[in-house]
Chain A
């Protein structure tokens, strides 16, 4: 019996071990788009145990390492999406304007087919974000697209913690309009943030004083026990933000709310933050630059709500020309399939250089997520997260041939299955109806508000339809 248990345990561990496996591969004679060191034609790339160990000519494969011919092909770092909700289970803990204590870390589905579709578009890492229903939402989780593994294996090891903030229409609609709870306005949004930062500062001091006093009491230096100050997980996270341990990524659109938040962050000495979506960031590009703020924007989405009506698809190019570090994100299971194509639009709209366009889906999002020392470019010592393309990745005629995460192949066009049913859900109904085509095609479906559609109103609970 003991033996059997041991066998089962060993089997379980070996499964997990397999999932975490890092791979080795030699990719020969490709044009390497290194991102940080220009393009290198006819160059070999060696990945060993998940790490890039050598870049150069005539590298020979170490024993047992597979060689892949990439002559006439392009090899680029895996695309990084700084704003995604694929692989997410629950997206919005919308029940309070501030829910800093919750996290996406236990809300990951490694079998979401969208992960595979993203790999097929050359994506290797995503920023799985909490939704935008509240001013200070939950903590996000940076993932590697190790499709079909376990929840823990999806995490990007040692990536900094990040959290979602949201300004403007979403939080004011859900809370002010939906619940009669502040914020109803952008004025209120500012105060919600300041109130909670102030509370966090007070909490930190009071909690420390209490702990010190408690210690003093226990050590006999104090005759009466102090009044307890309870630990508060929500405020703990806010303290971590104030101490620079959690990077803030803020859903925002309008120039005024962007400058408001920079003012607030300056007051509380918060740095290294990113504005997500930021459709009007172009209007305050010099201010963003001055504050060292980052932006992560859509290539061309606009007009789906009022706060994005005065937008321009030239946003990314204007930000780039003003030296603001910008990324192009998807926030969509559809756009993530062709982020290379979304980046190419920055050349169309405003003549961003091809190199800068590619940075916006590789090293720039890596910087914004604090993982740029590990991924985002092809450099010795960085992770073996790369994709092989059959042409220049910014061309609409180019396709991803193979995608590697940690040197392990997770997508191969040549081995791509016609029917993924066995990998996804063998029980799935074959022929269910779809939504109407014209409701979805290339249109923003507000994944940011997923799960927040059910709202309480004065009349009772109300399900918001499309």
Chain B
């Protein structure tokens, strides 16, 4: 991390006119000064580049022009118009990708009016996270200065909670942030088990409820398949048929039943995971991704055989009291060893910035650094079909990357620069601003 004076100097330099204006208005210099992102031509030099897809390049250069990476390598000519960023002794990584969050949908947990992730109703495929992403959420800069540049943000309530969206963490509108406005539909899998000791339903009641829930889900999908067929027939041959009535929910399911976007299935318990695996076989045209998957290590081979990718985390307590204490940390490694593609998903909001540490624990407990890096970059990009532009440092990909003064999985290390879609992001967040304001508040007390 830069020295504080350097940060402040940089800050002042780039916002000198804003400062003058503020001073002219007679306001405190501590008032809001907004530094803007820069876009243009940047050369990151002398860096150790973790490309993810093409190994590690020592003493390398990355050229960024506007939104793209135009060259990566050891032997790169740097045209004079490029602004050079010397990354000697530093490491460059692709922007980290948290494949399951509620970021942008919630501002303050306990203040209900700031919570937009839980719409009423059980089947809401037409409800879109994309609509409610707040680009001004204080959590967004807090997250991106830690190197997390992309997230899946998802609605969470009911059975079919709504459409998840894939956004990057820079922009003034959901439109400018969205990589894939509809990245998947989120399904809360109906459990076939009791919730815990407090659940006083009989086994028969639990089973009956599960079957009812499953039937509702299957019925909903059958209707969607029928609707899609009817609509497709009409679209293919409009003169032949009467136009079917519009149904928003069914319309929203078309891209799901056609397999264009995945169903992201939140499921944790072993028996539920096995039920999901069976269930997906009934829908060969659809795409599925599992999320949570806390018992995944118990049935890793079955998940691998079904070819289902998993969105997982590590920082939670073991599912059952008698589980080995390391299981949450080991879950990604055990899934990977069985052949499952894993990506990191924290499920979080304000602390999505800890995604690198979820990956770090996975790395530490068996996954290894390279695979953990994959899990927080390219794997997520592949699962959501955007690996042509995200997830690694390669020529032609979007310039989403960050510079760190060491291994970013180590909490002691610092992120010094972040680029999102080629934009050099100001290293400013509420947390940093409060630090700068209060570190040395001055001697005056009371």
Q: A residues within 8 Å of B by Cβ?
A: 113-114, 116-117, 120, 169, 282-283, 285-287, 290, 300-306, 309-314, 317-318, 321, 333-334, 337-338, 341, 344-345, 347-351, 354, 394-399, 416-421, 423-425, 428-444
Contacts and interface: CB of A to CB of B under 8 A. Distances in A.
7 contacts: A113-B322, A397-B364, A428-B320, A432-B195, A438-B292, A441-B313, A442-B315
Interface stretch (B81-89, B127-135, B395-403, B429-437): B429-437
Given A302-B350, A397-B410, 15 more contacts: A286-B442, A286-B444, A301-B351, A303-B349, A309-B138, A310-B430, A312-B432, A321-B440, A344-B410, A397-B364, A432-B193, A433-B192, A433-B196, A438-B266, A440-B316
Contact of B316 (A301, A397, A441): A441
Interface string B327-356: 000000000000000000011111101100
Nearest to A347: B412
B45 interface: no
Contacts of A419: 322-324
B108 interface: yes
B364 A433 contact: no
B315 A282 contact: no
B321 A396 contact: no
Interface residues of B, number: 78
Contacts of A434: 268-269, 294-295, 319
A314 B293 CA distance: 33
Nearest to B435: A314
Contacts of A169: 110
A301 B351 CA distance: 7
A419 B351 CA distance: 31
A354 B412 contact: yes
A288 to B, nearest CB: 10
Contacts of A441: 313, 315-316, 346-348
Interface string B397-416: 00000000000011111100
Contact of B431 (A306, A313, A417): A313
**Secondary structure dominating the interface of A:** loop
B306 to A, nearest CB: 19
Contacts of A290: 445
Interface string B252-286: 00000000000000101111100000000000000
Contacts of B315: 334, 338, 441-442
Contacts of B195: 432-433, 435
Contact of B138 (A301, A303, A345, A398): A303
A398 B361 CA distance: 10
B302 to A, nearest CB: 15
B409 A396 contact: yes
A398 B360 CA distance: 11
A428 B438 contact: no
A325 to B, nearest CB: 17
A350 B412 contact: no
Contacts of B17: none
Contact of B110 (A305, A337, A398, A442): A305
Contacts of A442: 313, 315-316, 346-348, 351, 354, 358
Contact of B446 (A117, A287, A314, A433): A287
A433 B317 contact: no
Contacts of B322: 113, 419-421, 423-425, 428
A444 B350 CA distance: 10
B316 A318 contact: no
Contacts of A432: 193-196, 199, 269, 320
Contacts of B228: none
B268 A344 contact: no
A246 to B, nearest CB: 27
A379 B174 CA distance: 57
Contacts of B293: 437
Interface in B190-207: 191-196, 199
A396 B108 contact: no
Given A318-B439, A341-B357, A441-B315, A303 B266 contact: no
B107 A303 contact: yes
